Amino acid sequence: MVQSHESRLTSWVDVESTSDFPIQNLPYGVFKKSDGFTAVGVAIGDMVLNLAEVHEAGLFSKTCLAKENVFARDGLNDFMACGRTAWKEARRRITELLSLDCGTIRDDKALRERALLHMADVEMQLPVAIGDFTDFYSSKEHATNVGIMFRGKENALMPNWLHLPVGYHGRSSTIFVSGQDIRRPLGQTKADEADAPTFGPSRLLDFELEMGFFLGTGNKPGERINTKQARENIFGMVLLNDWSARDIQKWEYVPLGPFLGKSFATSISPWVVTLDALESFRTSSPPQEPKVLPYLEGDGQDAYAINLEAFIKSEKMDEPMRITATNFRHLYWSMFQQLAHHTVNGTAMRAGDLCGSGTISGPTEESRGSMLEICWKGTKPLTLTDGSERKFFADGDTVIIKGWCQGDGYRVGFGEVRATILPAEQVDL
């Protein structure tokens, strides 16, 4: 992995060594106070630095962000659209202000009280006004597992899978921030032995352990973003759970792919971790055979060592139970390849567009990223600590995903994305 001088930084804000949010991280999010005030902030330990207040105090005066307070917003879009130069200057300035030897905010009691807020006293919002959402299918292990279940070992991967990042366009209107519960969807399903479909609640509700990346800057229609440029266009990453109704999806997906079985809910974490914060954890990409076409070629260092875990907590359990542990570095198609492929036909991307990685599964049974795989299509039920079994999720279950990169004495984390499953809407059938 790439080494960075940032590993030696410390802050005047108290940060536990196990915190996801040391000064090496500084992820961006949008918070709301009890009086309704909403703005962009940065996480540091268990505090939030109110960047709108910092800007109002003139502390960005010597940066390219001096003219307009892009942090006095209810979304990150305006800041992201400023481009990489602005992102780097903002990170440099925020790091300086929070560093141990800087007293600009620390020693100004009135400013510190206005600008530094306890996380427990604010409500995190959806960080970005999301325009478009694309979900990829980029884990070779996941695609192979699913292929074996439905087509057999000899035909596990479709002919195109090793040549391009497979994806589909999702629904941005049902992307929710962590903590917002989701309702079990209704739809058509058809049992294998049935002559006709029936309508009702999905019985095979699943999660997908993913990560997502936000576009900070995009491209004009007809232009494309290559793999080298992609690093300059991507602002940062979040944890992502792309909920799936497997029974609805199975009946509807031929021939056009996912629709109602996927569009009802996608959950993301509130803090956006920048690529600059992740640079120290960039690592070797998985080998790709056969050789990819030239427009998809990378530099061999396009993966990131991000630890990922998923947990379940039933209504009867006191503590969550871990059900899988994997790593983002296993992803076969990198996010830079995903973006290059997405735009190779001239598709225009915009600030705030979100792309999901697809389910991230690892090479072992303990690292599978969905209940479909963990329970192997329902044939290997999961026994919970309360004694109950799961093949898929039940109403009242809470699903939690966590992620972090481990540094030398610190971690760069994403917090968590969690949601509880509510019963389906009651309707007259």
Catalytic residues: 142
Cα 76-223-91 angle, rounded to 5 deg: 30
Residues 246, 249: Cα–Cα separation, whole Å: 5
SS3 147: helix
Alpha-helix residue ranges (DSSP H) falling in 108-191: 109-115, 140-151
DSSP secondary structure string, 278-322? HGGGEEPPPP-SSPPPGGG---S--EE--EEEEEEE-TT-SS-EE
Report residue 113 CA to chain centroid gap: 31
Alpha-helix residue ranges (DSSP H) falling in 22-122: 51-56, 77-80, 84-98, 109-115
Residues 191, 195: Cα–Cα separation, whole Å: 8
Task: Look up residue 425 and give its DSSP letter.
Answer: P
- Tokens linked to 328: 């983002």
Q: Which long-range CB contacts under 8 A does 192-199 form with residues at least 24 apart?
A: 197/251, 199/429
Pairing outcome for strands 175-177 and 266-268: parallel
380: Cβ contacts below 8 Å, ≥ 6 apart? 374
408: Cβ contacts below 8 Å, ≥ 6 apart? 7
